[in-house]
């Protein structure tokens, strides 16, 4: 039996090792007869350098045990790198909401590092994750 999804939203998440799949994007540009792959690659490289990764479109799901981020089909087709991230609630040490353009950014701090995603309703989903993480910590406390 699969775990109940408490909240699911469209989201973008920051992936440090994401990069453009040059072959797929070049094929697309060839099909439509527009654009230059090298120009797009240069822009994405500059963005990755400035922000520490690329924003990958997909969804976020919150369960009692984890926060799951998964890329949508389009991003899987045009990007290489990590397309799925699962953060166990037990690993979350801090949940914060950061400013962002149009949507706010949710930051999950873990002993292994930080995971960031952005979505509409970021404050509400951050509050839910904080509540679930705290509830799990209290259940495990001696």
Quick: pLDDT tens for 63-74.
999 999 999 998
Domains along the sequence of the chain with CATH: 7-140 (2.30.29.30)
Cite the beta strand spans of the chain per DSSP E.
Answer: 7-15, 19-20, 54-62, 66-71, 79-80, 84-88, 94-98, 104-110, 113-119
Quick: pLDDT tens for 89-114.
999 999 999 998 889 999 999 999 99
State pTM to two decimals. Answer: 0.83
The predicted model gives 45-64 an average pLDDT of 86
User: In this structure, what are the phi and psi dihedrals at residue 92, rounded to the nearest 5 degrees?
Assistant: -80, 120
Q: Compute the mean pLDDT over every residue in the chain, rounded to the nearest whole number.
A: 85
What's the CA gap between 127 and 138, in Å, rounded?
A: 16
Quick: pLDDT tens for 20-30.
666 655 554 45
């Amino acid at each position: 039996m699969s775990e109940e999804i408490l909240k699911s939203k469209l989201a973008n998440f920051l992936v440090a090792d994401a990069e453009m799949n040059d072959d797929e994007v070049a094929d697309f540009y060839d099909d439509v007869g527009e654009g230059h792959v090298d120009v797009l690659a240069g822009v994405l490289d500059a963005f990755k350098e400035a922000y520490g990764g690329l924003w990958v479109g997909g969804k976020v799901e919150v369960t009692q045990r984890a926060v799951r981020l998964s890329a949508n089909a389009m991003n899987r087709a045009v990007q290489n790198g990590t397309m799925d991230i699962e953060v166990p609630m037990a690993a979350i040490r801090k949940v914060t909401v950061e400013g962002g353009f149009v949507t706010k950014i949710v930051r999950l701090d873990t002993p292994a590092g930080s995971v960031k995603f952005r979505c509409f309703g970021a404050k509400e989903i951050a509050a839910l994750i904080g509540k679930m993480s705290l509830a799990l910590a209290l259940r495990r406390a001696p």
